[in-house]
Structure 1
């Protein structure tokens, strides 16, 4: 499987500051997908999927606001 980096906007993250992989942005097909896994992108600005190696990263200048 090809490892890739997906750049995200803050608005692409869910309310917890993360995304799920496989993700439509990664253009994975049903035949080569893996179990759904949650990746916390907001914590460090990027996260790597343990299954496929895809890295989800916030675009430069994007910030994640935390509402309380």
Structure 2
């Protein structure tokens, strides 16, 4: 089974530079998933969910504003 990877645009990140998992962007239904966790994507360009292993990654060429 391969690890799901979700490519994000900078505009998909919240004001802190992250996303929450589970996420509709990953095709997940919130009612049957793991607890909601915050993943910081802005600082490293990607983050892996500790529950389901989904990787959230900035798409090539995406730039996060310096305010993040």
Secondary structure of 1:52's partner? coil
Q: TM-score, normalised by structure 2?
A: 0.90
Q: TM-score, normalised by structure 1?
A: 0.90
User: Structure 2 matches for 1:46-65, cutoff 5 A?
Assistant: 46-65=46-65
Residues 2 and 37 of structure 1, relative CA distance in 2, 3 Å threshold: farther
Query: How many pairs align?
Result: 67
- Equivalent residue for 2:19? 19
CA distance in 2, matches of 1:41, 1:14: 10
Unaligned runs of 5+ in 2: none
Dislocated runs of 4+, deviation >2 Å? none
Q: What is the root-mean-square deviation in Å for CA atoms of aligned residues?
A: 1.8
How big is the shift at 1:48?
0.2
Unaligned runs of 5+ in 1: none
CA distance in 1, matches of 2:3, 2:35: 16
